[in-house]
Amino acid sequence: MSYQISLGQKSWQFNDLKSLLAKASPLRSGDCLAGVAALDEQERVAAQLALADVPLKTFLNELVIPYEADEISRLIIDRHDALAFAPIAHLTVGDFRNWLLSEQASTAMLARIAPGVTPEMAAAVSKIMRLQDLVLVASKCQVVTRFRNTIGLPGRMSTRLQPNHPTDDPAGVAASVLDGLLYGSGDAVIGINPASDNTEAVITLMKMLDDVIQHYDIPTQSCVLTHVTTHIEAINRGAPVDLIFQSIAGTEKANDSFGINLALLKEAYAAGQTLGRGSVGQNCMYFETGQGSALSADANFGLDQQTCETRAYAVAREFKPLLVNTVVGFIGPEYLYNGKQIIRAGLEDHFCGKLMGVPMGCDICYTNHAEADQDDMDALLTLFAAAGGSFIMGIPGSDDIMLNYQTTSFHDALYARELLGLKPAPEFEAWLQTIGIFDQQNHLAYGNQSLPAPFEHVIRGGH
């Protein structure tokens, strides 16, 4: 079905729903690269006006990728919860924005409708929202998940401690873990991107992180971010696997390029559940996503990159993850060119994820060939934290020496927490206070040239 709109002397026609969604997307380089972006600013707003008049029900009938052609389209339709959808079933996309901003859309109501919101509905409404809308509505959404601690409670923001090292050197990894813990980081996960995907090397890192968590009795979980099949193999070999990681995308073909499908994720999820290593819950999956991944796999089917991205959240929520992380600025300037595009994409992803009931965090990051810098990251971090983002990354001095990009530092997390009064996950907060890293007001408890007693031996032993 095509969509028309006339404004003054000019009129526009959009051939189908996916073209309307693409043309309504705020400007980003990846949609230009894909050849799906609006040709000019007026066409973009015309598409947004036309999109605002589309009933939400249309998204259940006109699929952007055919049901027969894509297992994620089938997942979206087969799993759609009509009862949850009922309170918003009569709305258009434009009405939906108004409703989300209204007092009717309480935290409880937003949780109730989440299983009735499809990725395309979330993407559509986000395209006609300003940053402040994305922040305000997301801040009303609450998605709480549990493994050895509780992520996503109001007034809390967690951090992934990311102790990457170019050669997976145990001492080098340990030095970054220590740095992170002593700055109060690591409640979302202590998660390493390994340099090697060799199963034995991965298991060595898994054991190392597990040893640290057990030795210091830290209420958190570990993850080595390797392929899901390597996790399954590690579980079979008896490795201490807390969270199972996988990068996911929003089309079957893109996931195929990652070497995964829904059946494989189901197998991995089942393997994690049988371990039962969580203490306060069993959300055992950790997914990463990012706008542009489908196009880079030549698997976007004429969709804009943000709509593709939201479809990945349908995959994520099927497996009740502890954490979903949009790695927003890693992919490079051919998808998100500058700080403005990265900031908007991060807030869109967080909003759409939360609206769909996904525990959304954000790797607030950039590469050195993007038109972005630390000021842009500060802006996104501040907005993301204000929007109630579930977690961010934490890395020594923002410099990932293994992946060669810049993400948020341990200091950055403390900034956001201090500015907005945000606390870590409650179980981790109690541990930080008990072990002497934080005081009762959650300020760093140790002073110049000192460190908490349980860690003193690390330095003395080294020299």
Partner 1 sequence: MADKPDTILVENPWQTLREYTDARIGLGRAGISLPTRAHLEFQLAHARARDAVHLPLGFVQLQQDLEQVLAQAGLPGPVLKLASQADGRPQYLQRPDYGRQLSSSSQEALTQWMADSPPAAFDIAVVVADGLSSLAVQRHAAPMLDCLLTSLADTSLKVGPVVMVEQGRVAIGDPIGETLKARMLVMLIGERPGLSSPDSLGIYFTWEPASGKHDANRNCISNVRHEGLRYEEATHKLMYLLLEADRRALSGVALKDESDNGQPSLASKSGNLLLKTPNT
Cβ pair 396, 161 in contact under 8 A:
no
CA distance 125 to 100: 10
Q: Does 333 bind partner 1 (CB under 8 A)?
A: yes
Give the residue, chosen from 111, 229, 444, 452, that forms a contact with partner 1 under the rule CB under 8 A. Answer: 444
Take residue 58 and report the two structure tokens written for it.
């249309």
The residues pairing with 18 across neighbouring beta strands, listed in sequence order, are none
Tokens found for residue 67: 């049901």
- Of 387, 260, 241, 393, whose CA–CA distance to 315 is shortest? 260
Q: Which two tokens stand for residue 268?
A: 């991995």
Q: Which region, judged by CB under 8 A, interacts with partner 1, from 71-79, 152-160, 307-315, 368-376?
A: 368-376
**Integer Cα distance of 185 and 176 in angstroms:** 11
Q: Which is closer to partner 1, CB of 78 or CB of 460?
A: 460
Q: What is the DSSP letter of 274?
A: H
- Tokens 């080294």 found at: 462
Positions in 210-269 near partner 1 (CB under 8 A): 211-212, 215-216
Q: Which is nearer to partner 1, 173 or 285 (CB)?
A: 173
Comparing CB distances to partner 1, the nearer of 50 and 208 is 208
Least Å distance between CB 456 and partner 1? Answer: 8
Q: Which stretch binds partner 1 (CB under 8 A): 94-102, 130-138, 383-391, 395-403?
A: 395-403
Using CA atoms, how far apart are residues 188 and 178, in angstroms rounded to an integer?
16
Residue 35 contacts partner 1 per CB under 8 A: no
Closest separation in Å from C-beta 173 to partner 1:
8
Tokens of 405: 């990009």
Sign, CA torsion 25/27/32/34: negative
What is the sign, positive or negative, of the torsion defined by CA atoms of 232, 238, 244, 246?
negative
For residues 164-173, one letter each, b for 16 or more C-beta atoms within 10 angstroms of the residue's C-beta and e for the rest, the string is: bbeebeeebb
By CB under 8 A, residue 439 contacts partner 1:
no
CA angle 281, 247, 275 (to 5 degrees): 30
Report, in Å, the least distance between residue 226 CB and partner 1: 18
- Distance of alpha carbon 340 from its chain centroid, rounded? 19
Pairing of the two strands 399-400 and 158-161: unpaired
Q: Which of 21, 105, 182, 239 binds partner 1 (CB under 8 A)?
A: 182
| CB-nearer residue toward partner 1: 59 or 405 | 405
Q: Is residue 2 close enough to count as binding partner 1 by CB under 8 A?
A: no
Answer yes or no whether residue 368 interacts with partner 1 by CB under 8 A. yes
Stretch of 206-214, 305-313, 314-322, 422-430 lying at the interface with partner 1 (CB under 8 A):
206-214
Q: CA–CA separation, 244 vs 235, rounded Å?
A: 10
Is residue 53 involved in binding partner 1 (CB under 8 A)?
Answer: no
Q: Beta-carbon neighbour count of residue 431 at 10 Å?
A: 22
Subset of residues 300 to 319 that bind partner 1, contact rule: CB under 8 A: none
Q: Is 399 a binder of partner 1 (CB under 8 A)? A: yes
With respect to partner 1, which residue has the nearer C-beta, 96 or 410? Answer: 410
| Residue among 175, 280, 297, 430 that touches partner 1 (CB under 8 A) | 175
Per-position x/- string for 336-355, each x denoting binding to partner 1 as judged by CB under 8 A, each - no binding? -x------------------
Residues forming the site for partner 1 (CB under 8 A): 29, 32-33, 163-179, 182, 208, 211-212, 215-216, 332-334, 337, 367-369, 373-374, 395-399, 401, 404-406, 409, 411, 414-415, 418, 443-444, 447-451, 455-463
